[in-house]
Structure 1
Amino acid sequence: MAEQGRETKQPLTFRVQPAALRRLRHHAEELGVSQTSLAERYLEEGLRRDVHPLVYFRDGAGGRRAAVIGTRLDVWQVVDTVKNSDGQADAAATYLEIPRASVYASLRYYAEYADEIDHWTKRAAGVAEREQSLS
């Protein structure tokens, strides 16, 4: 996921089961991040998944990003395909060979997190341009 806004973070205090806290600490150590940042990531992603159940989050070379469940596609790829299909979601679904519901789910996610998805689209375009200039 692209970095969240620069608002001042607010404190949040709550109790968790000891086993969950142990797993959080252990996983944070494995990833080399603070348990606070990992808990914040889980909270943010969980809230997003509740609203956008066909979207999940995965790590990649460029960082963590939104992807479409049941496909190997990132949300930005689906949105970019819709844009390149003159805004025709059904045409994009046919081209990508994915259910229309997955395309519409990507568009709903984009409507809420356009800056994040536009960031990934621009990154991918920059990588493609650099690769093309090397050939």
Structure 2
Amino acid sequence: MVSRATSYRLDTVVKARLEQRAAAEGSTERALLERLVSEGLDMLDHPGIVYRDGPTGRRAALAVGPDIWEVISALRYTSGGDEERVAVLAEQFGLHPRHIRTAIDFAAGHRADIDEQIAENDAAARRAREIAERRADLMAS
């Protein structure tokens, strides 16, 4: 991503909060500000989307439910027409179909990030299965 110099004046209280938060996160003010603006714009563009911290970093999620990557991963395993698949996922996650559509719309605009999160989860699941199999083999001997 190419950066472009931009200058903004921030309220002194906001600036102090930004400094404190960046220091607490071990980040720079610029990096934190960019993240907050990017996430804020995403949340404005896709009402119902929030960002959460987790073991793999920050990720987009439905405010009322799962991470976006979880919905899209499940979508890959559903069949039928578009509305049928949305209904199946709404039932599976216990959500209104509009929430599933919100997740799909968000993912459509952030495909590479969501695909990467799904791939990371798939790899972690494979590693967990392999460890469980080795553990079972060890216990059986």
Partner of 1:79: 72
**What displacement does 1:8 show?**
1.9
**What displacement does 1:33 show?**
0.4
In the superposition, the TM-score normalised over structure 2's length comes to 0.88
Q: In the aligned structure 2, how far is the partner of 1:109 from the partner of 1:83?
A: 16
Ranges of 4+ aligned residues in structure 1 off by more than 3 Å: none
1:90 pairs, out of 87, 91, 95, with: 87
Alignment of 1:1-135 (within 5 A): 7-71=1-65, 73-86=66-79, 88-135=85-132
Q: Which structure features the higher share of helix residues?
A: 2
Unaligned runs of 5+ residues in structure 1 are 1-6
Partner of 2:137: none
Give aligned-pair identity as a percent.
Answer: 23
Give the number of the structure whose alpha-carbon radius of gyration is greater: 2
Between 1:78-87 and 1:107-116, the stretch displaced more is 78-87
Deviations 1:42-88 (A, max 9, x none): 110111111011111111111111011112x1000011112211261
Could you say which structure has the greater relative contact order, defined with CA pairs below 8 angstroms and 6 or more residues apart?
1
Q: In the aligned structure 1, how far is the partner of 2:73 from the partner of 2:114?
A: 9
RMSD over aligned CA atoms reads: 0.9
